[in-house]
Amino acid sequence: MSYVAIKGGKAAIDGAAAATDYMRCMNAVDEPIKLSVIEDQLRLLTSRIVSEGGLYHPKLAALALKQFQGDTLEAAFALRAYRSTKPRLLETPLQDTSKMRCIRRISSAFKDIPGGQMLGATFDYALRLLRLDLANEDPAAFREVAKNFLNNTPEADLPDSFPKVLDALRAEGLLPPLGLMREQAFDITRDPLVFPVPRSAALATMARAETGSLLAMAYSNMRGYGDVHPTVAELRVGYLPVMLPHPVTGELMEAGEVLMTECEVVAMYESGNAGDMPVFTLGYGACFGHNEVKAISMAILDRSLQKGMRDGPDNPSEDPEFVLLHVDGVDSMGFASHYKMPHYVTFQSDMDRLRTTQGKVRKSGETE
């Protein structure tokens, strides 16, 4: 097999781009899919992109999904790239998630919690069976769904916010005291991860990690490499008010709100140092959008990483370097995809070494 120099790469690349656009449009019998359709009817997919892209902009997340034809990794990549072009105007102070306007709030630790359980929108209690009637959904019936829900759902005087479940446990002394934050939050978009890293760096990395990667790591900790069965003290989904200082007075004011998922898990208790009172261990997870699996996985890994950083890792899910360097979907995709790029020179070098080695083996066999 011979090797020759290749020219005309730009024309081939332009042709590939044109073919990609054709694949998006070739079977379009109606108008192009609207961003509002993606954002609203595929809301959980949009939530995944704003989380993994690290930018809360549902409309741009929908645009990225449309552009990359549903490829979540490419869409998150594009959203991050867009974010990097924008100036940073200011930083928010610490936000109080107890002020979240909840659309869903549950606890598996207690039957009755302050404010009550709020099931909200979820697939948790439905059968995982295909609804074949959605294949050819009638537009009039589609519009009727929302109308019927609003007309048939009784009005309830819901509070503006709900208290945290963990506050009751902490007041009873079953949890470690809420310590003051002594370190500035680590900015993973500006500073590289140099291990050991602070907890804020681990949380920030996992907050925009790929959902499936986090789930796989957390599952390993639950199943066999850790054997931890945590309890969800509280899982809440809702709109968190974003408070920013007024440019003149400095007083905090609400600049908007973002949809978030937050999870706090309680796991096996530890006695700590000699003489210390044993308390439960905690894990925390929070991410943009409605993504409960990601928030739960993040909370489980936060708890396991804290143990690994304190006592040394006993398994891969407790090793910060192993976890944090392998859960980012954009990084992982980039490295896997780079194998599609030309490797002509390195592969020819591998073949030359193999041929030389085979020649030596033949020569050695002939002399015996």
DSSP letters, 2-37, are -------HHHHHHHHHHHHHHHHHTT--SSPPPHHH
237 and 102 in a single domain? The answer is: yes
pLDDT of residue 2: 40
Residue 29: inside a domain: yes
Same domain, yes or no, for 173 and 322? Answer: yes
Please say which residue of 84, 116, 135 terminates a domain: 84
Same domain, 179 and 277: yes
Domain count, the chain: 2
pLDDT of residue 275: 61
The tens digit of pLDDT for each residue in 20-39 reads 888 888 876 678 899 999 99
Could you list the residue range(s) of the whole structural domain that residue 324 is in? 97-127+161-333
Q: For the chain, give the mean pLDDT.
A: 89
Span 49-101, pLDDT tens digits:
999 999 999 999 999 999 999 999 999 999 999 999 999 888 888 889 999 99
Q: In Å, how far are 42, 47, 84, 89, 298 from 67, measured between CA atoms? A: 15, 17, 19, 28, 29
Q: Are 72 and 105 part of one and the same domain?
A: no
Cα dihedral angle (39, 43, 48, 49), rounded to 10 degrees? 0
* Each residue's pLDDT tens digit, 115-159: 899 999 999 999 899 999 899 999 888 888 888 888 887 777 777
- On whether both 222 and 199 belong to a single domain, the answer is yes
Highest mean pLDDT among 14-18, 139-143, 349-353: 349-353
pLDDT confidence band for 1 (50 / 70 / 90): very low
- Check residue 241 and give its pLDDT: 95
Same domain, 114 and 53: no
Q: Give this prediction's pTM.
A: 0.90
Q: Domain boundary at 21, 51, 84, which?
A: 84
Q: Give the strand order in the sheet containing 101-106.
A: 101-106, 231-245, 252-270, 279-288
Instruction: Tell whether 197 is covered by a domain.
Output: yes
Integer Cα distance of 147 and 298 in angstroms: 36
Question: Pick from 84, 118, 148: which residue ends a domain?
Answer: 84
151 is a domain residue: no
One domain, residues 232 and 166: yes
Task: Please tell me the distance from the alpha carbon of residue 205 to that of residue 218, in angstroms, as a whole number.
Answer: 15
Q: Which residue has the tokens 């005309």?
A: 8
Residue 138 forms part of a structural domain? no
Name the residue with tokens 């998922």: 261
Q: Within a domain: residue 276?
A: yes
Asked whether residue 236 falls in the same domain as residue 312, the answer is yes
63 and 102 assigned to the same domain = no
Looking at the structure, do residues 18 and 101 belong to the same domain, yes or no? no
Is there a single domain that holds both residue 74 and residue 33?
A: yes
The verdict on residue 288 lying in a domain is: yes
Quick check: 5 pLDDT over 70? no
Taking the C-alpha atoms of residue 149 and residue 250, their distance in angstroms, rounded to an integer, is: 42
Is the same domain home to 285 and 316?
Answer: yes
Asked, for residue 296, whether it belongs to a domain, the answer is yes
Is 140 among the domain residues?
Answer: no
Burial 125-152 (b: 16+ CB within 10 A, else e): eeeeeeeeeeeeeeeeeeeeeeeeeeee
